[in-house]
Amino acid sequence: MAVQRQVAEHSFTDLRPRQRAAAQLFSCPKCAAQTESDALSERCPFCTTPLVGDAQSIGQIAPEAVVPFDVDQAAVRDRLRQWISTRWFAPSSLRQVGVAESVRSVYLPHWTLDSQTASDYTGQRGDDYWATESYTTTVNGQSQTQTRQVRRTRWRPASGSVSRRFDDVLVPATRRVDSDHLHDLMPWPLPQAKPYQPEYLSGHQTLRYEVEPEAALEQAKQQMAAVIHEDCEQDIGGDHQRVSNVDTQYTDVTYKLMLLPVWIVCYLHAGKSWQVYVNGSSGSVTGQRPYSTAKIAAAITVGLALIGLLVFLFTRN
């Protein structure tokens, strides 16, 4: 492998508009077959020779880093069997699925974004205190006035400023995998990512990004906003907080394109194909699965029967 370069962050101030990249034409060095694909790396459909393209040559931003595959195909099949065996309310026949219809190793593109933030906020701070409250009750048929301690909250205006440096806010750059499944595959060992080299892609399919960095930044800001909101609440202090407005300035914004390893597994059940995703680094699994309506109905019936039994025993006693 060639001498590794350093992972670079790119400034948003240097970002230039780009046209949507067209499909790439691969020429197989072994059988000379030509294949058109919108992926960054593929296998030749005629002789399975690994093919790796050049992102910059098609007008796309080149990857800066890659998390290599640590989980092999044999381990993926084991993970699939374990995952299937632990699914609640799954059809009994699902446990008989032992062989996947297909197993593909795919690098999925993600953006990581960094930013320094400075936020001014307004809101309210609530401090609890105890007060004596009078109330009327009936004792031995007589109306009496008594007192008790009640907790109340005193609210007052609050305002201030908070700042935070965000590093490697992760945003998927592909729309081909459901965002919920991608979220379930987290966390990723981003600090262990390697500087990009085309050799890492050999033998794996690599999807090109569909989400542009400008759109990724807006998604990253939503993630940052949730953290900034918590920072504002902590800065307000007190027993309760209300944040009514936050004005955030983003500076020193940088980005890079990173490739993350995912095994995409398809298995057949009841004549239908189901997809499962395996984190190629940690081995965590998420994906689609069938449900047994009979098992769900039986569980509901048993639950209702238990509730009825408890009610009967309670009323009897």
Phi-psi category of 207—alpha, beta or left, where left has phi over 0 and alpha has psi -120 to 50?
beta
Are 190 and 67 contacting, i.e. CB atoms less than 8 angstroms apart? yes
Nearest residue to 153 (alpha-carbon basis) of 225, 89, 242, 227: 242
Nearest residue to 277 (alpha-carbon basis) of 112, 94, 71: 71
Contacts of 292 (CB under 8 A, 6+ apart): 89, 90, 91, 92
pLDDT (0 to 100) of residue 129: 96
Structure tokens at 116: 């320094």
Count structural domains, the chain.
1
Residue 206 within a domain: yes
Are 288 and 276 contacting, i.e. CB atoms less than 8 angstroms apart? yes
Residue 129 within a domain: no
pLDDT digits over 186-196, tens only? 999 999 999 99
3-state secondary structure of 25: strand
Residue 55 within a domain: no
**Residue type, position 289, single letter:** R
Residue 149 within a domain: no
Q: Give CA–CA dist 255/212, Å, rounded.
A: 11
**Residue type, position 273, single letter:** S
pLDDT at 308 over 80: no
φ, ψ of residue 11 to 5 degrees: the values are -80, 140
Q: What percent of the chain has pLDDT over 70?
A: 78
Residue 135 within a domain: no
Strand partners, 52: 41
Query: Band of the pLDDT at 289, cuts 50, 70, 90?
Result: low
Residue 219 within a domain: yes
Q: What is the mean pLDDT of the chain?
A: 83
pLDDT digits over 271-287, tens only? 677 788 999 999 998 88
Which residue segment(s) compose the domain that 83 sits in?
62-116+164-316
Q: Give CA–CA dist 224/236, Å, rounded.
A: 18
pLDDT digits over 197-249, tens only? 989 998 899 998 999 999 999 999 999 999 999 999 999 999 999 999 999 99
Cα dihedral 168, 171, 177, 179, rounded to 10, equals 110
pLDDT (0 to 100) of residue 196: 92
Residue 151 within a domain: no
pLDDT (0 to 100) of residue 292: 47
